[in-house]
Amino acid sequence: MNKGKQTVEPRPLAVLGRPEPNSHSSEMHFSSKGKELMSPNVASNGKGPQRVSLSLHIKDLGPEPCVIPKKRVVDTHALIIPKEEPFTDDMPQDEVPIAVIHPDPLSGKDLAIREFSTGKSNWQVPPESLHADEIVGGGASASMSKRHTSCELATVSNEIPSRLEIASSQLGEVKISVSYNNSALGGQKFQLPSIDELRELMAQRCLRSYKLIDPNFDVIKILNDMCECISELATNSSNQSREGDVMPALDVLKRSPGRDALDAESNRENGCVLARLLNGSFIVQPSSNGCVDDVGGKELVVLPQHELTLNELRWLHDASDITKGEEKVEISWVNEINKDFPPPFQYISENLVFQNAHVSFNLYGIGDESCPTCFGDCLLAEQPCGCACRAGRKFAYSSAGVVEEDFLGECISMTRDPQQQFLLYCTECPLERSKKDDFPEPCKGHLKRKVIKECWSKCGCHKQCGNRVVQRGLNYKLQVFLTPDEKGWGLRTLEKLPKGAFVCEFVGEILTISELYARNREKHTCPILLDAYWGLKGGARDEEALCLDATCYGNVARFINHRCFDANLIEIPVEVETPDLRYYHLAFFTTREVHALEELTWDYGIDFDDLDHPVKAFRCRCGSKFCRNMKRSTRSKSAIITG
Ligand SMILES: C[S@@+](CC[C@H](N)C(=O)[O-])C[C@H]1O[C@@H](n2cnc3c(N)ncnc32)[C@H](O)[C@@H]1O
């Protein structure tokens, strides 16, 4: 027992402080299968250096299987069942402290472990490196594995105002106790608060610090979670759970009612609610006004109780914004159908060179003579600026920020109308060369395209110039969702989009075609060719024949599904920083007005019947009456190679 500490008779916590007549503070109970809650403890109210201790004592009922209680915490207000024996810091002989945490009075953030309670010589000293956050993560078990090593006595400094002790016994008891050092607290009269007061203050702190806005948020749930984590870590099940691809450090993030409630509500704060449907599926639902109050009678709780993979944890974490802040707008994801998570990939908002692609952004490339004509908003000038001149002496964008009707019409008909389609042929096609290096087959042709040339850093105009649309990034509220018609995940808009609106560009890794083929041999890819110039220049050297692969690194466009012929998006090459079309941006614009919640689609230009084509066709479920699935198409335009 720590010196200088006096104990007082234990009382139910509820009678401490100032209980209110109708307050629900008389008892609190941790619902915990296989665990029985034991006594609260109140220690010391003496003079001089003294400590007051509140303890939560959880007793494991003997050798019951190590079942982690998964049921939700009942909203009862009983914290602890008083035990007959007073609980003091005098631990039984076989009890071992896991750790003692002293809140850092300065930072209030990281709780460094400075000292371990060693009131009895049988208390083991955990490793010094153990960090507070490890107590509920992998570190706790690390310390526990050393529980039968050395013993050490330590005195508790009078400077430390409070400390948290977590200890376990070989019998499976886990004891959490909070002690206060009255002298370090300034010697003020120490009067224990009521449970309701404590809950309220803690809730306020959590709401402030962690930005939780769940009206049902309850500190007791968090404590209960912590107890569950400790028992989980202290049993074999915790070891198993750290195997596989569950991230050990995030073990505590495994599904639990408290955690789920937190997730749900932090998502709510971001305009999303994580809710479980009655059929066991879940939904991350954004609201049109950024705040969801009604989730349609769906239960606001948990995901499946299985161990979450790293990918699943990430998706849960980024449920309200899969871009992780990379874009100007947040993009949520939703699954209203089953429990699946989207596939793993790293979100990037700009193309990145994988390895060999020759892509150099240089100021030299864009001629000086054209730039002086760009200033302010080029669209307002009487004469088209030099950039517009490079692309047909007309601006592609209207002052409303959408693609001009004529320009868009031409792009659409060049893509869709066989009469308007114009194929350019390479003398030596990089595609064919990658297929058969020795005797490549003749080029099958690449669709001629209209190109948009945007103003850029070398131009004198404003970033908000009307001829800079794609480079300013996403504007509309989009959402990734699991499609109901077996196309996998798709992308939809949450708001009405005007015709000709820029939706997003296709972002991924910039690969050479031979890198793509090498990659294709190992895994399925999700690429699109940047072949707009290949036929124009007779061919392209390998390091110049490029494509974008969004399989591992990509943006929202990787979720856009294919629709034959009448898709609501069209892809248009956009030149920003490179003037020679070897590398360009591929941007998606709406072909018509698109309603809120409509799925966004584009025509991959896939030839479902060309067995020789690198495109791995899928069974098309686009639903278009023009679906050309399994019908021979002679077109060969930039194609997505599918997984
Ligand atoms: C670029 S990804 C689109 C996102 C994909 N649905 C997902 O779940 O990640 C292309 C893949 O989506 C599926 N897909 C796209 N359009 C489809 C369609 N019209 N019918 C069936 N599957 C489609 C195919 O499996 C294709 O290989």
473-494 pLDDT tens trace: 999 999 999 999 999 999 999 9
Q: Select the more confidently predicted residue: 57 or 475.
A: 475
Q: Are residues 118 and 2 in the same domain?
A: yes
Tally of structural domains, the chain = 2
In a domain, 624, yes or no: no
Q: How confident is the model at residue 367 (pLDDT cuts 50, 70, 90)?
A: low
Work out which ligand 1 atom sits closest to the CA atom of 621.
20
pLDDT digits (tens, 9 = 90+) for 383-430: 888 787 776 778 899 999 999 999 999 999 998 887 777 898 988 888
C-alpha 40: how far from its chain's center?
39
Residue 526 Cβ inside 6 Å of ligand 1? The answer reads: yes
Q: Which atom of ligand 1 is nearest to the CA of 616?
A: 27
**515 belongs to a structural domain:** yes
Distances (CA, A) of 478 to 277, 318, 350, 408, 420: 22, 14, 18, 22, 32
* d(CA 585, ligand 1 centre) in Å: 21
Instruction: Check residues 222 and 57 and name the one with the higher pLDDT.
Output: 222
Cβ atoms of 492 and 540 closer than 8 Å: no
Compute the average pLDDT of residues 231-248. Answer: 46
- The confidence score (pLDDT) of residue 321 equals 95
Closest residue CA from atom 22 of ligand 1: 487
Assigned domain for 323 exists = no
Which candidate, 436, 562, 423, 427, places its Cα nearest to that of 487? 562
Q: Is the CB of 628 under 6 A from ligand 1?
A: no
| Domain presence at residue 315 | no
User: Which of 244, 267, 295 is a domain's end point?
Assistant: 244
Residue nearest ligand 1's atom 4 by CA = 559
- Domain assignment present for 495: no
Residue at 320 is within a domain: no
- Within 10 A of 319 (CB to CB), how many other CB atoms are there? 26
* List of residues 6+ apart from 425 with CB closer than 8 A: 442, 443, 445, 446, 535
Do 417 and 548 sit in the same domain of this protein? yes
86 HSE (CA, 13 A, CB side): 13
> Mean pLDDT, the chain, as a whole number?
67
Between 529 and 212, name the one with better pLDDT: 529
Q: Are residues 78 and 221 in the same domain?
A: yes
Considering 100-114, 212-226, 323-337, the range whose residues carry the highest mean pLDDT is: 323-337
Look at 227 and 256; give whichever has higher pLDDT.
Answer: 227
Given a cut of 90, is residue 177 above it in pLDDT? no
Locate the DSSP E strands across 494-545: 502-505, 508-512, 527-530
Residue nearest to atom 7 of ligand 1 (CA): 489
Confidence band, pLDDT 50/70/90 cuts, at residue 181? confident
- What's the CA gap between 511 and 527, in Å, rounded? 9
**Which of these, 345, 126, 141, lies nearest to 248 by C-alpha position?**
141
pLDDT over 80 at 634, yes or no: no
Point out the ligand 1 atom lying closest to the alpha carbon of residue 564.
19
Distance of CA 557 to CAs 71, 207, 283, 355, 487, Å? 39, 36, 21, 22, 15
**CB-based burial of residue 392 (10 Å sphere; 0-12 exposed, 13-18 middle, 19+ buried)?**
middle
- Among 229-243, 245-259, 361-375, name the one with the lowest average pLDDT: 245-259
**Higher pLDDT, residue 216 or 643:** 216
Per the model's pLDDT, the better-predicted residue between 536 and 187 turns out to be 536
- DSSP notation for 440-486: PPPP--EE----EE---TTSSB-TT-TT--GGG---S-EEEEE-TTS
Ligand 1: residue of 347, 548, 621, 642 to mutate (most ligand atoms within 8 A of CB) is 642
Q: How far is the CA of 643 from the centre of ligand 1 (A)?
A: 8
- Residue 254 located in a structural domain: no
ipTM passes above 0.90: yes
Q: Which residue has the higher pLDDT, 532 or 273?
A: 532
**Which protein residue has the closest C-alpha to ligand 1 atom 1?**
558
553 CA → ligand 1 middle, Å = 17
| Span of 30-34, 308-312, 368-372, 624-628 with lowest mean pLDDT | 30-34
272 lies in some domain = no
CATH code for position 451: 2.170.270.10
pTM of the model: 0.58
Sign of CA dihedral 554, 560, 563, 565: negative
Say whether both 223 and 370 belong to one domain.
no
Instruction: Mark which of 244, 262, 286 sits at the end of a domain.
Output: 244
Q: Whose CA is nearest to atom 13 of ligand 1?
A: 487
Q: In 3D, which of 522, 527, 570, 523 has the Cα closest to residue 548?
A: 527
End-to-end CA distance of the chain: give it in Å, rounded: 65
What's the pLDDT score for residue 564? 93
Please tell me the least confidently modeled range out of 69-73, 376-380, 522-526: 69-73
- Domain encompassing residue 207: 1-244
Is residue 383 classed exposed, middle or buried when 0-12, 13-18 and 19+ CB atoms within 10 A define those classes?
Answer: exposed
Of 312 and 169, the one with more pLDDT: 312
Name which of 123-137, 148-162, 174-188, 529-543 the model is least confident about: 123-137
CA of residue 639 to ligand 1 center, whole Å = 13
Instruction: Report pLDDT for 196.
Output: 76
